[in-house]
C-alpha cells in the first residue's frame, strides 16, 4: 500500500499545488507528504516537481505521470466499490462541497449520522459560495442551489426551496414595504445582492398572475457570502432575497419581515452534482440517498418554523 499511498499523495499535491495543502487533505504532515513524493521520485528516477522555498510546480514528467496516476487511483476505487457491493460495507473517503448557507444548515448537521451508520467511510466537507470544479478539485459531489454550469455532469434533484424577499422592520419603517417588483425598482429600494462569479447585473424573478417577471434591481451592498446578506438585512441595510430555510428563525421572531408576498420570488432547486462514474460507487449512492430524505425533512421543518409569511407582510 505504500506505493499507492505515494501515488495518492502525488495526485493531491499536483491538484492542490502545495505539500501542506495536500497533507491537510490527506491528514498527514507536510513533511510526510514531501517524503512520499521523494520516495516516488526515487522509484521513478525522475523529478515530478520543481521546488523552491516559495513555489512548487510540476515538471514535464510530473504532468505526464499525473494522468496515469489518476487512472490508477480510479481503477483501485472501482475495485474497492465492487468489493463493497459484495460485502455491503462501504469504505473510503467522500469529498463533498456545498454552498455556505445550505451547507451549514442542511448538509453539515446530517454528516455525523451518516458517519455513525458507516464507520469505514470518511467525510470531507468543503463550504463555499463560489463555483467549484469537481474534477480540478477532486470533489466527489457538490450540492448547489439554482442551475449548474457543469452541463456534462449528472444532476439529481433533491428538493424545492421556497424563497422570500425580506427586510428588518426598521428598514420598512424608513422606506416603506414594496408590494411587487415594480415597487422595488420605482421606489429605489436598497437590494442586498449575492455576487456570483461572472455576474454583471442582478435580476430578481418574481411570481405574478401573469407569470414570472424579472426585475433589474440595484443596491450599494453586495457580497459572495449569503450569511453576510442576512446580517445586513437584520441591521436594516436593505432587502434581501433569501431561501426560507436560512432565515426561518428570524422570520418567526419578527427580526425580518417578508415583503412582496403576493408576488414572491421563484423557488430555487437544491440538487446534487456528480460524475456518472461516481454514482457507480456504493458509498456515493448511499450518501446521496441518505442526504436527500433528510434535506427534504429539514426544509419542511424550517418552512413550518417560519410560519405564514403573508401575515407578517406589513406596510399595506
302, HSE (Cβ side, Cα atoms, 13 Å) = 22
Q: Does residue 273 contact residue 150 with C-beta atoms inside 8 Å?
A: yes
pLDDT score recorded for residue 276: 65
Comparing CA positions, the residue from 163, 112, 147, 167 lying closest to residue 299 is 163
State whether CATH 3.40.190.290 applies to domain 91-316. Answer: yes
- 200 Cβ neighbours under 8 A, 6+ residues apart: none
- Tell me: pLDDT of 211 over 80: yes
pLDDT score recorded for residue 257: 95
Output 1-9 pairs: Cβ under 8 A, ≥24 positions apart: 2/39, 3/40, 3/43, 4/72, 4/73, 4/76, 5/36, 6/36, 6/37, 6/39, 6/40, 6/43, 7/40, 7/69, 7/72, 7/73, 8/73, 9/33, 9/36, 9/37, 9/40
pLDDT score recorded for residue 30: 87
- Tell me: pLDDT of 55 over 90: no
Q: How far apart are CA 76 and CA 208, in angstroms?
A: 53
Cα 5 → chain centroid = 28
- Rg of the chain over all Cα atoms, to the nearest angstrom: 24
| 3-class secondary structure, 89 | coil
For residues 263-275, give the mean pLDDT.
89
pLDDT score recorded for residue 279: 58
Q: Does residue 142 contact residue 284 with C-beta atoms inside 8 Å?
A: no
Q: How far apart are CA 33 and CA 10, in angstroms?
A: 8
Q: Looking up cell 420570488, which residue turns up?
A: 265
- Tell me: pLDDT of 86 over 60: no
pLDDT score recorded for residue 68: 87
Q: Looking up cell 427580526, which residue turns up?
A: 255
- Tell me: pLDDT of 108 over 90: yes
pLDDT score recorded for residue 244: 94
User: Where is pLDDT greater, at 276 or 256?
Assistant: 256
| Helical spans, DSSP H, in the chain | 2-16, 19-26, 30-44, 60-87, 100-102, 111-117, 169-175, 181-186, 226-234, 244-253, 276-279, 282-306
pLDDT score recorded for residue 280: 65
- Tell me: pLDDT of 259 over 60: yes
Q: Looking up cell 456518472, which residue turns up?
A: 276
CATH architecture entry for 1-88: Orthogonal Bundle (1.10)
Q: How far apart are CA 130 and CA 297, in angstroms?
A: 26
- Percent of the chain predicted with pLDDT > 70: 89
Which pLDDT band holds residue 114 (cuts at 50, 70, 90)? Answer: very high
Q: How far apart are CA 171 and CA 188, in angstroms?
A: 13
Domain with CATH 3.40.190.290 in the chain: 91-316
Q: How far apart are CA 221 and CA 228, in angstroms?
A: 10
Domain with CATH 1.10.10.10 in the chain: 1-88
Summarised one tens digit per residue, pLDDT across range 137-174 is 778 899 988 876 656 678 888 989 999 999 999 999 99
Mean pLDDT, the chain, rounded, equals 85
Give the range among 228-232, 239-243, 270-274, 304-308 with minimum mean pLDDT.
304-308
For residues 266-285, give the mean pLDDT.
80
Amino acid at each position: 500500500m505504500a506505493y499507492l499511498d505515494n501515488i495518492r499523495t502525488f495526485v493531491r499535491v499536483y491538484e492542490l499545488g502545495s505539500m501542506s495543502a495536500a497533507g491537510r487533505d490527506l491528514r498527514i504532515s507536510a513533511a510526510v507528504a514531501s517524503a512520499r513524493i521523494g520516495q516516488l521520485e526515487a522509484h521513478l528516477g525522475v523529478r515530478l516537481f520543481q521546488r523552491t522555498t516559495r513555489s512548487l510546480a510540476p515538471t514535464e514528467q510530473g504532468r505526464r505521470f499525473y494522468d496515469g496516476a489518476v487512472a490508477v487511483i480510479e481503477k483501485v476505487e472501482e475495485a474497492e466499490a465492487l468489493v463493497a457491493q459484495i460485502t455491503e460495507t462501504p469504505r473510503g473517503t467522500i469529498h463533498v462541497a456545498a454552498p455556505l448557507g445550505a451547507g451549514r444548515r442542511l448538509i453539515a448537521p446530517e454528516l455525523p449520522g451518516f458517519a455513525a451508520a458507516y464507520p469505514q467511510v470518511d467525510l470531507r466537507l468543503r463550504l463555499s459560495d463560489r463555483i467549484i470544479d469537481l474534477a480540478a478539485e477532486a470533489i466527489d459531489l457538490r450540492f448547489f442551489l439554482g442551475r449548474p454550469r457543469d452541463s456534462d455532469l449528472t444532476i439529481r434533484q433533491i428538493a424545492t426551496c421556497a424563497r422570500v424577499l425580506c427586510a428588518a422592520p426598521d428598514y420598512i419603517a424608513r422606506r416603506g414595504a414594496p408590494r411587487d417588483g415594480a415597487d422595488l425598482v420605482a421606489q429605489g429600494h436598497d437590494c442586498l445582492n449575492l455576487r456570483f462569479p461572472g455576474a454583471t447585473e442582478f435580476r430578481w424573478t418574481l411570481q405574478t398572475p401573469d407569470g414570472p417577471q424579472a426585475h433589474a434591481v440595484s443596491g450599494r451592498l453586495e457580497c459572495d457570502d449569503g450569511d453576510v446578506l442576512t446580517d445586513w438585512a437584520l441591521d436594516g441595510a436593505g432587502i434581501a432575497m433569501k431561501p426560507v430555510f436560512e432565515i426561518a428563525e428570524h422570520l418567526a421572531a419578527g427580526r425580518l419581515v417578508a415583503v412582496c408576498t403576493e408576488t414572491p420570488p421563484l423557488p430555487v432547486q437544491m440538487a446534487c452534482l456528480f460524475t456518472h462514474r461516481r454514482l457507480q460507487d456504493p458509498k456515493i449512492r448511499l450518501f446521496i440517498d441518505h442526504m436527500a430524505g433528510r434535506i427534504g425533512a429539514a426544509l419542511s421543518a424550517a418552512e413550518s418554523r417560519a410560519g405564514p409569511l403573508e401575515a407578517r407582510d406589513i406596510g399595506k
